[in-house]
Amino acid sequence: MRYFVSVAAVIGIAISVAVAADVPPALIEGRILQLNKPGAIDIEISVGSGDGLKAGDALVVVSRKGKRIGKVKLAKVEADRSTATITELGDQEVIERGDRVIR
């Protein structure tokens, strides 16, 4: 009987891990706080490790009008804010304070 309970517990844990691996990450949304200087590729955003982010994560930049305009990659992550590098920007697009970042 003990053997059966142990095997059932192991199978249950394995199934839980497999299901958790297929769950997409939760939606995380923040705002562009600051562009370090005009024309710079580094920006500051309002989300960080406290929101489940880590260095290397990629986020999509969406304008205040709801249009996808680019992507950023997190370089430095603190609890409530991060510094990111712009990795993609559409033609004729400009990232501004207040634009949203989404994962």
Query: Does domain 27-102 match CATH 3.40.50.1370?
Result: no
* Predicted local confidence at residue 4, as pLDDT: 46
| Full-model pTM | 0.73
| Residue whose pair of structure tokens reads 């691996």 in the numeric block | 21
2 close to 9: Cβ distance less than 8 angstroms: no
Q: Model confidence over 54-75: pLDDT tens digits?
A: 999 999 999 989 999 999 999 9
Q: What percent of the chain has pLDDT over 70?
A: 73
Q: Between 37 and 97, where is the model more confident?
A: 97
45 close to 59: Cβ distance less than 8 angstroms: yes
* Predicted local confidence at residue 22, as pLDDT: 62
Q: Domain extents for the chain?
A: 27-102
Mean pLDDT of the chain: 82
